[in-house]
Amino acid sequence: MKTHLTVIAASLAAAFFVAPAWAADEVQSVVVTAQSRKQLAQDVPMTMQVVTGKDIEAIGAKDLADLNGYIPGLSVDAVEPTQPQFGIRGVQAGDFGVATDSPVGIYVDGVYTGKTGGALMNFVDVQRIEVVKGPQGTLFGRNSAAGAIAISTNEPGKEVDAAAHVKLGRFGRANADVMLNFPITDTFATRIVVVRAGSEGWVDNTATGKKSGGDKDWATRVSLRKDFDAARLVFSWEHENMEQYGRPAFGVIKDPALPLAGYRGVYDAAYTANFVNPLDAPLANDQQGSEGRLFDGATLRLEAPLAGMSFNSTTAYRRFTTHNLTDNDGGARPDLYLTTQDAKRARSFQQEFKLSGRTDKLDWIAGLSFYHNNEHQDAGAYVTTGTLDTLSQFGGGDPNFAMLFGGLAAAGLPGISADSVFSWNETHYSDVRTRSASIYGDTIWHLTPQTNATVGLRYTKDKKRMTWHVPGRVSPQLDDFLNKFGPLAGLDASSFPSNVIFATAAQLASSPVTREKDWTDWSPRLVLDHKLNKDTLLFTSLSRGYQAGGFNIFTPPNPASPTRTGQDPSFEPEKMTNFEAGVKLALPDIRATVNAALFAYKFKNLQDIQLYSVGSIPTYNVISSDQKAHGLDVDGRIRVSPRVTLFGGFEYIDQTYTRYQRLDASGNVTLDLGGQPVGTPRLSAMAGINMNWETASGRASVNFQGTHASATRCNSDTADLSCLRTAKLKTGTATSKYDLRVGWDSPGARYGVALIVNNVFDQRYIHSLGGQTEQYGAPYAYLTPPRAIGVEFRASM
């Protein structure tokens, strides 16, 4: 017996504590370009985290949203992938209009993606992702006031290579990708990648009989690389086509007498006791919805020596169209019916020239960039006459349409009854033209062999031209009714308002109205770093980020006034000032790294669009706020043995408003949140373990990791729904999620198979509760998906 135990113990020791032939002695080093220079991540004096292609594979992520939680401090809301929201360190804007920008810049191979249709794309042959926290106005430029996400893809190589993956799983999941890399000559190579991802959906929509919560997308990238004596030219073209059903919205009001019989403008305990738990209730959306994107992009990058310096040029063109038709009432009742449409089309051109050089004392970079973008948006609100009656009753009025139709039916008019409901569609059209140019420089000055001082500065000029147009409502059924019965009832088109949902905007922009404005900014950064020894880096920095000014798409200007409607529809740039002090520590004796940074920032003029009632009808309104925060970022990794690695990280943050005021129609303050929390959880954390061992038939591996976020910190405005606690449901609670990958690779790693389980313990949460019908007592919820299980097969040359 002792002999058997000895053999087993020796086998386990060999499996987990004896280094395989391919293992390195130290913790893996990663080369990054966050400072526009190739550096080891541990030598970069800023807070950043790097996700490699292997990390993406371990989680089974198909886009940035699947990494949510695995980078503490980064939040990605992709419930609607054509309208994603990105946040870093709690700074996240909720504006979906085309005339504003995001405080988090997304860059793919150095090309800015914008914030709407092109920002959240499926991963296509990704090499690494760098998430840089804090203002990056100097190096990345405009619209990275809170931070930047830089995605780098693989370039064509000089060796013949091929790889393929197929993943099949629960809810009809079927993903596949193929990569081919081959040299055409000794100096010319191409790389072709095709990716397909799709699933049927994880919930049945009882109102339509179809599945919801699925996705369907395919994409391709073709890259060409030409090497010269000392130069390199890379061209890439990418295409994506996404078409899927709209996201599910789970209504929590099932009593047909509600909300009219119980809602009085306040979500008190008596009313919220009527809510059902959306995690237990069936989905019933009368509008199945559809969401899609058609995207094309081309990029040309040149790297070449120039008079002892390095010259880089990046030229990019992007165009896309998107549509997002969604159920926004969470149910199937004609008296609450609300469907919205958000459709966009955009074309952008970018050009950047960069020159860099280094001496014994200086490492410098200078650049010039241009960005041109034209974007159009259709924002549609589609309701019924039943919905308008409900809104009228909430405002103290009568159900006018029901009374009209009932009276006509009582008079004997054919084809009409008191229950008749007609469609009523309104659309708000917006066009914006953006022109931006900037010049920047950044210099690392080697004060001593151990100490560096970095000084950077960028000057930016932005110009935007905005056009608003809100024509009258479209209601073919109502028009037909007026043609038939209008003369008998003494009614014509003037008997009804031209718009209700966009009534204020329609009064000011029934014909196209245009305004233009420009802004300038200086974005500096100062960094001091010092190496105590070859394994310990200390750094401190002061930087400022800039987000261009813009316009509120739902507040057109008065055509009779050059600037004002009583309120200027433009707003000034958003700016963040951030201080950081940190350490990056390598511990080679125990094969570990630890990074930590303290930060504090002030963010001024953050723009957000919220739906609330200024009069009797809920309307979209711009809220401008100032915020401040301080916190701590920590991440680390330790190789316990050559075959076992532990990793983890967390962010602690305390974020509050310094200014937030909501005004009524007369300009009086109705809500002041100054000094209250913004909502960001105090703690977000992740941790995991990688294990691998050799077997007689290949190599086995296990990756298990999880994320956790503490409870939402609600304020007096959001506590009613975002931190709700009833006997049936809870919102704003702490959340956790765990993912598992168990894999096997053949000798030489030519082929392999893996079991991937996302949300291992099937932990479900209410992602948010509110929506556009929140204002009249009928909120709906978004839910996190259930456990997903899949099997992935792969093969490579």
Interval 113-130: pLDDT, tens: 876 666 677 788 888 999
Is pLDDT larger for residue 364 or for residue 619? 364
User: Does residue 204 surpass a pLDDT of 70?
Assistant: yes
Count of other CB atoms within 10 angstroms of residue 57: 19
Helix (H, G, I), strand (E, B) or coil at 508: helix
The phi-psi region of residue 462 (left if phi > 0; otherwise alpha if psi is between -120 and 50; otherwise beta) is beta
What is the distance between the alpha carbons of residues 306 and 290, in angstroms, rounded to a whole number?
51
- CB within 8 Å of 603: residues ≥ 6 apart: 91, 103, 145, 146, 574, 575, 576, 626, 627, 628, 629
Q: What is the pLDDT of residue 552?
A: 82
Is residue 22 pLDDT above 70, yes or no? no
Place of tokens 């990494």: 67
User: CA–CA distance from 675 to each of 88, 606, 628, 657 (Å)?
Assistant: 20, 16, 10, 5
Q: How far, rounded to the nearest angstrom, does the alpha carbon of residue 249 sit from its chain's CA centroid?
A: 19
Helix or strand holding residue 403 (H, E): helix 400-410
3-class SS at 18? coil
pLDDT score for 19 = 38
505-533: pLDDT as tens digits: 888 888 999 999 999 999 999 999 999 99
Residue pair 149/107 in contact (Cβ under 8 Å)? The answer is yes
* Residue located via tokens 């969604």: 326
Helix, strand or coil for residue 208? coil
* pLDDT of 395 strictly over 60: yes
Mean pLDDT of 38-67: 85
pLDDT of residue 99: 78
pLDDT digits (tens, 9 = 90+) for 250-271: 999 999 999 998 898 889 999 9
Q: Is the pLDDT of residue 616 over 80?
A: no
Burial of 428 by CB count in 10 Å (0-12 exposed, 13-18 middle, 19+ buried)? buried
Q: What percent of the chain lies above the pLDDT cut of 70?
A: 92
Mean pLDDT computed over 309-326: 95
Q: Minimal CA–CA distance to 416: which of 426, 424, 425, 406?
A: 406
- Nearest-5° Cα angle at 529, 525 to 533: 165
Nearest to 738 by CA among 690, 687, 791: 687
Residues 375-403 have a mean pLDDT of 91
Q: What are phi and psi of 658, to 5 degrees?
A: -100, -20
For residue 112, pLDDT beyond 80: yes
Res 11: pLDDT: 40
pLDDT band at 749 (very low <50, low <70, confident <90, very high): confident
Given a cut of 60, whether residue 675 has pLDDT beyond it is yes
Whether 126 and 177 have beta carbons less than 8 Å apart is answered as: no
Whether 783 and 250 have beta carbons less than 8 Å apart is answered as: yes
Q: How far apart are CA 102 and CA 93, in angstroms?
A: 7
In angstroms, rounded to a whole number, what is the distance separating the alpha carbons of residues 743 and 735?
A: 27
* Residues paired with residue 436 on neighbouring β-strands, in sequence order: 371, 462
Please provide residue 70's backbone torsions phi and psi, each rounded to the nearest 5 degrees: -85, -5
Higher pLDDT, residue 140 or 225? 225
What's the rounded mean pLDDT across residues 466-484?
91
At residue 23, the pLDDT reads: 35
More confident position, 388 or 562:
388
Q: Is 11 helix (H, G, I), strand (E, B) or coil?
A: helix
On the question of pLDDT at 658 being above 50, the answer is yes
Tokens coding 579: 């201080």
**Which tokens is 152 given?**
């780098």
Tokens of 792: 């992935």
Q: What is the pLDDT of residue 174?
A: 96
Residue 242 to residue 447: CA distance in whole angstroms? 52
The rounded distance, in Å, linking the Cα atoms of 544 and 577 is 4
pLDDT digits (tens, 9 = 90+) for 212-252: 999 999 999 999 999 999 999 999 999 999 999 999 999 99
The Cα–Cα gap between 9 and 365 comes to: 56
Q: What percent of the chain has pLDDT over 90?
A: 63
Name the CA radius of gyration of the chain, rounded: 28
Range 589-617 average pLDDT: 81
Report in angstroms the alpha-carbon separations of 359 from 138, 365, 441, 443: 22, 12, 16, 11
Q: Could you please report the per-residue DSSP string of 600-647?
A: EEEEEEEEEEEEEESSSSEEEEEEEEEEEEEEEEEEEEEEEETTEEEE
> How much is the average pLDDT of 480-503?
85
Of the pLDDT bands very low, low, confident and very high (cuts 50, 70, 90), residue 695 is: confident
411, pLDDT greater than 80? yes
Helix ranges (DSSP H) in 30-125? 53-59
Residue 62: pLDDT band (50, 70, 90) is confident
Weakest-pLDDT range from 24-38, 336-350, 516-530, 710-724: 24-38
In DSSP terms, 226 is beta-bridged to 188, 233
Pairing of strands 669-672, 618-641: unpaired
Residue 279, by phi and psi: left (phi above 0), alpha (psi -120 to 50) or beta?
alpha
Q: What is the pLDDT confidence band of residue 33, given thresholds at 50, 70 and 90?
A: confident
Q: Which helix (H) or strand (E) covers residue 686, if one does?
A: strand 683-695
DSSP 493: G
pLDDT reading at 15 higher than 60: no
Q: Which pair of structure tokens corresponds to residue 698?
A: 């290949």
Cβ-based neighbours of 561, under 8 Å, separated by 6 or more: none
Assigned token pair, 37: 């220079």
Cα(565)–Cα(169) distance, rounded to whole angstroms? 55
What is the average pLDDT across 166-190? 96
3-state percent breakdown (helix, strand, coil) of the chain, nearest 5: 10, 55, 35
Query: Would you say residue 567 has pLDDT above 70?
Result: no
Distance between CA atoms of residues 251 and 328, nearest Å: 9
pLDDT exceeds cutoff 50 at 14: no
To 10 degrees, the CA torsion angle through 270, 271, 274, 275?
A: -120
Helices (H), strands (E): how many in the chain?
8, 39
- Express each pLDDT in 588-600 by its tens digit: 999 999 999 999 9
Confidence band, pLDDT 50/70/90 cuts, at residue 607: confident
User: What is the average pLDDT across 628-642?
Assistant: 95
- CB neighbour list of residue 516: distance below 8 Å, 6 or more residues apart: 463, 464, 465, 466
Task: State the average pLDDT over residues 537-557.
Answer: 89
* CB atoms closer than 10 angstroms to residue 332: 18
Give the C-alpha distances (Å, rounded to integers) separating 569 from 243, 430, 514, 565, 614.
Answer: 34, 13, 11, 8, 17
- pLDDT for 563: 46
CA distances from 634 to 334, 596, 653 (A): 51, 4, 12
- Is the confidence at residue 709, as pLDDT, over 70? yes
For residues 29 and 588, give the distance between their C-alpha atoms in angstroms, rounded to a whole number: 12
- Smallest CA-to-CA distance from 131 within 101, 92, 88, 93 is with 88
Residue 777 has pLDDT above 80, yes or no: yes
Q: Which residues pair with 593 in a beta bridge?
A: 586, 637
Can you state the angle between helices 385-394 and 400-410, rounded to 10 degrees?
Answer: 120
Q: What pLDDT was estimated at residue 773?
A: 85
State the Cα angle at 258 between 255 and 259, rounded to 5°.
145
Q: What DSSP assignment string belongs to 527-551?
A: EEEEEEETTEEEEEEEEEEEE--EE
Encode pLDDT of 270-306 as tens digits.
Answer: 999 999 999 999 999 999 999 999 999 999 999 999 9
- Given a cut of 90, is residue 414 above it in pLDDT? no
User: Which of these, 301, 300, 289, lies nearest to 243 by C-alpha position?
Assistant: 289
Residue 631 in contact with residue 683, Cβ under 8 Å?
no
Contact 80, 74 (CB under 8 A): no
**Residue 313 in this model has a pLDDT that exceeds 90:** yes
For Cα atoms 327, 330, 332, give the angle at the middle one, nearest 5 degrees: 85
21 has pLDDT over 90: no
Task: Give me the pLDDT at residue 592, please.
Answer: 94
Strands of the sheet containing 147-153, edge to edge, are 48-52, 126-133, 147-153, 104-108, 111-112
- Mean pLDDT, the chain, rounded, equals 88
pLDDT band at 647 (very low <50, low <70, confident <90, very high): very high
Closest CA to 366 of 273, 264, 444, 272: 444
What does the buried/exposed string (b/e) look like for 227-248 if buried means 16 or more CB atoms within 10 Å of the residue's CB?
Answer: beeeeebbbbebbbebebbbbb
Phi/psi for 462 (5° steps) reads -115, 145
